[in-house]
Amino acid sequence: MERIKMTTPLVEMDGDEMTRVMWQMIKDELILPYVDLKTEYYDLGLEHRNETDDQVTVDSANATLKYGVAVKCATITPNAARMTEYNLKEMWKSPNGTIRAILDGTVFRAPILIRNIVPYVSNWSKPITIARHAYGDVYKNTEIKVPGPGRAELVFTGEDGREIRETIHQFTGPGILQGIHNTEKSISSFARACFNYALDSRQDLWFATKDTISKKYDHTFKDIFQEIYDEEYAEKFKESGIEYFYTLIDDAVARVIRSEGGFIWACKNYDGDVMSDMVATAYGDLSMMTSVLVSPSGVYEYEAAHGTVQQHYYKYLKGEETSTNGIATIFAWTGALRKRGELDHIPQLVSFSEKLEKACIKTVEDGKMTRSLASISTCENPVVLNCLDFIKAIRETLDSLL
Ligand code: NAP
Ligand code: MG
């Protein structure tokens, strides 16, 4: 078979630990034999980030803005232990945070559904995609532990010197205080990313806040979404046969549980943090969760939702077998290649990506899987494979589909 040609390079962001090992296996077994791969390679492995003072992360994000599509391997976000382990010059920031800030993006996470893995919520027959606003609120807060009686005030001082002042509470004893914020710019970007993604994936969009209680803060989220929808998206949604639906967050939670899935659930930062863990767990397995960062200008960065699978990597270094499941990382590649194919009008690349995804699903449905999937599968006698053998099994299925 002749390898599929590409015209525009994909931005390739390599990463750390077990996912870095898998990255190479996936390229060798599932991509390079079939695609004449064209990438602009950035090594986001922690050692190279340290050598370049993290410039490589910034460069990779700028390259993504230039070319439009990136695929990223999981990366270590350094903490104190990693400072020693990798002898770091500095505790470099989370690469995902840096890239998100440059692309001004929203993260969409969706589970990969497999017939013999039944979600804990049995009526969820279609994936629920969570879109989490990744800026502000409680994640950029200012807090005070109130020592005793006194008045707490909220004060805004404009650049023109104008002051707005509100009493928060007249304390009669000790307590706690928290100041949070968001910006119209960030909320608008979030809204546009959600509307674009809904159109792109032809799914309804749900959004919810607590606007009845928070009449200025949460209500502003509701209003911005509605204004942008009415002005820029209502027509397009109608043409696509999809819907934008706003409700209160508690009503949304109840409806989500009763639903069959198949929509995008846009969440404020905290709601998204909490609900994405609930949704991921209910669908079965962290190693089956995809993730894509979408900027309001339509730039895409695909990755797996899980981390570098550190514990498996230490086993790998000792020469032991690991049960790491590569499916979410493979879907990062297929997502990126499919998008590249769509943008560059290369139908063979789109079709290859679809077949590779089908091959992943069929392999598991045929009873071949890694350990964590076998433990939740309804399959009678699953064949449990190690990381590389599972990738090889997917390749066999892929060859039978091509
Ligand atoms: P993790 O890498 O997601 O792994 C946590 C556990 O989940 C693993 O020990 C494993 O459980 C299971 N797991 C995750 N992915 C799996 C897969 N593909 N196949 C099989 N099992 C899988 O999270 P972590 O150990 O907390 O974090 C490790 C590093 O990843 C950290 O340095 C963190 O900074 C980084 N991280 C990066 C990203 C990112 O780049 N997007 C996201 C999160 C974390 P068992 O051990 O029970 O098999
Ligand atoms: Mg969380």
Query: Does any ligand 1 atom lie closer than 6 A to the CB of residue 386?
Result: no
pLDDT given at position 1:
74
Strands 383-384 and 368-369: parallel
Of 306, 373, 391, the one to substitute when testing ligand 1's pocket (max ligand atoms within 8 A of C-beta) is 306
pLDDT given at position 244:
98
Q: How far is CA 6 from the centre of its chain?
A: 25
Beta-carbon contacts of 320 under 8 Å, excluding residues fewer than 6 positions away, are none
Using the predicted structure, report yes or no on whether residue 71 has a pLDDT greater than 80.
yes
| Ligand 2 geometric centre to CA of 387 (Å) | 26
Mean pLDDT score of the chain: 95
Query: Does any ligand 1 atom lie closer than 6 A to the CB of residue 325?
Result: yes
Query: Does any ligand 1 atom lie closer than 6 A to the CB of residue 99?
Result: no
- Helix/strand/coil (H, E, C) string of 255-288? HHHHCCCCEEEEECHHHHHHHHHHHHHHHCCHHH
Query: Does any ligand 1 atom lie closer than 6 A to the CB of residue 228?
Result: no
The share of the chain scoring above pLDDT 70, in percent, equals 100
The torsion region of residue 382 among left (phi > 0), alpha (psi -120 to 50) and beta comes to beta
Query: Does any ligand 1 atom lie closer than 6 A to the CB of residue 306?
Result: yes
Interatomic CA distance for residues 63 and 85, integer angstroms: 30
pLDDT-derived band at 281 (thresholds 50, 70, 90) equals confident
pLDDT given at position 30:
98
| Ligand 1 geometric centre to CA of 219 (Å) | 36
Q: Which two tokens stand for residue 389?
A: 């053998």
